[in-house]
Amino acid sequence: MSISDAERLKALVSRRVPPLGGFNLTFLYLEMRRLVRNRRTVILTLVMPIALFFLFRSSRRLGGANTAELTASTMIGIGVYGAMLAATAGGALVSVERALGWSRQLRLTPLRPVAYIAIKLLNAMLLGLVSVALVYAAGVIDGVHMSTQTWVLTGVLAWAAALVFASFGLFIGYLMPSENVMQVIGPVLAVFALVGGLFIPIRLLPTTIQDVAPYMPPYGVAQIARFPLVGGSFDVTWILSLVLWTAAFSAGAMYLFRRDTRRT
C-alpha cells in the first residue's frame, strides 16, 4: 500500500455521518411535492371531502331545528374525515415505496429508518391539515357561522384525527406491500366515518349502528372536535377512544416497522 493510499484511507474513514439521521427539510419538501403531484391522492384526500360536505349538508333537512349548527357539525365531521383520509394516504405511501423497493434503496443511504418515518408522519399530518382547511373553506363558502374561537378550536381538534390515522396509514402500509393500498382501505375508512357519525349525526342513524358507533376509530376524535360547537357534557370515553386507537395503531405500525427494518 502506497503512502497516498494510506492518506486516502485515512480521509475516507474520518468522514461524517449526517445529523438527525438524515432528516432534512429539502427531503420533506420533495416528498410533499410528490404527494401533491399524485392526482389520485389529491382527489381522494382533498377534493372528495369537499364534495361530501356539499352532499351531506342536505341532511340538515332531516335534522329539523337548529339547521345552522347541524351544517357546522357536518362540516367538522367531514373535516375529521378529510384529515383521516389524508393522513392514512400519507402514511400508507410506505407500502408503495416498499413495493417499489425504494425503502431498500434508502437503506443504502445514511437515512435512519426513524428519520424516514418522521418524514412520512409529518407529510401525512401536513396533508391532513390542508384537507381540514379546504373543508373549512367550503364551510365558509356555504355560510357556516361560528365564533372565531370555535372555528380555530374545532379545526385544530379535527386535525387531531390525522394523528390517529397517520399511524393507521403506516400500519396498513407495512401490512400490505402493494401499490394500490388506498383502494383497499378507502372503503374501510368510509365505513368507519359513516358508522362513527362523521357524515350524518349519530342520533339520526339506526339504533344498531348507534350502539356500534362509539367503537369506531374516528368516533372519539369527532366528538371532541365538535364539543366546542355543541357544548353540553364532555364524555371522558371520547378521550379514551382517541388514546386507545392511536396507541393500538402506533403499536401495530411500530411492530411492523421494526420487523421490516431489522437487519436480520
Partner 1 sequence: MWVYVCGRTMNQAIAPPALDVVRLEGVHRSFGAVRAVDGIDLRVELGEIAALLGPNGAGKTTTIDMILGLGKPDRGTVRVLGMKPDAAVGRGLVSAVMQTGGLLKDLTVGETVRLTATLFADSRPAGEVLERAGIANIADRLVGKCSGGQQQRLRFALALLPDPALMVLDEPTAGMDVEGRRDFWTAIRRDADLGRTILFATHYLEEADAYADRIILLRQGRIVADGTAAEIRNMSTGRSVRATLPGAEPATLRGLPGVLSVELRGDRVIIQTTDSDSVARNLLTNTPARDLEIVAHNLEDAFLALTGDGAATPVEGAKEA
Footprint on this chain of partner 1 (rule: CB under 8 A): 1, 5-6, 8-10, 12-13, 15-19, 22, 24, 26-27, 30-31, 34, 37-38, 97, 100-102, 104-111, 263-264
- Smaller CB distance to partner 1: residue 69 or 97? 97
Query: Least distance in Å: CB of 48 to partner 1?
Result: 20
The cell numbers describing 159, all together, are: 386535525
Query: Least distance in Å: CB of 97 to partner 1?
Result: 7
- Smaller CB distance to partner 1: residue 57 or 98? 98
- Smaller CB distance to partner 1: residue 16 or 61? 16
Give the C-alpha distances (Å, rounded to integers) separating 236 from 19, 28, 165, 228. Answer: 41, 36, 20, 15
Give the C-alpha distances (Å, rounded to integers) separating 162 from 4, 34, 40, 44, 85. Answer: 55, 19, 19, 15, 8
Q: Which amino acid is at 192?
A: F
The cell numbers describing 163, all together, are: 394523528
Dihedral of the alpha carbons of 117, 120, 122, 124, in degrees to the nearest 10: -140
Query: Least distance in Å: CB of 130 to partner 1?
Result: 19
- Smaller CB distance to partner 1: residue 1 or 236? 1
Q: Are 129 and 161 in contact (CB under 8 A)?
A: no
Dihedral of the alpha carbons of 165, 166, 171, 176, in degrees to the nearest 10: 100
- Smaller CB distance to partner 1: residue 22 or 197? 22
Angle between helices 217-230 and 148-175 (to 10 degrees): 180
Query: Least distance in Å: CB of 43 to partner 1?
Result: 15
Residue 146 DSSP SS3: coil
- Smaller CB distance to partner 1: residue 44 or 224? 44
Query: Least distance in Å: CB of 185 to partner 1?
Result: 20
Query: Least distance in Å: CB of 122 to partner 1?
Result: 15
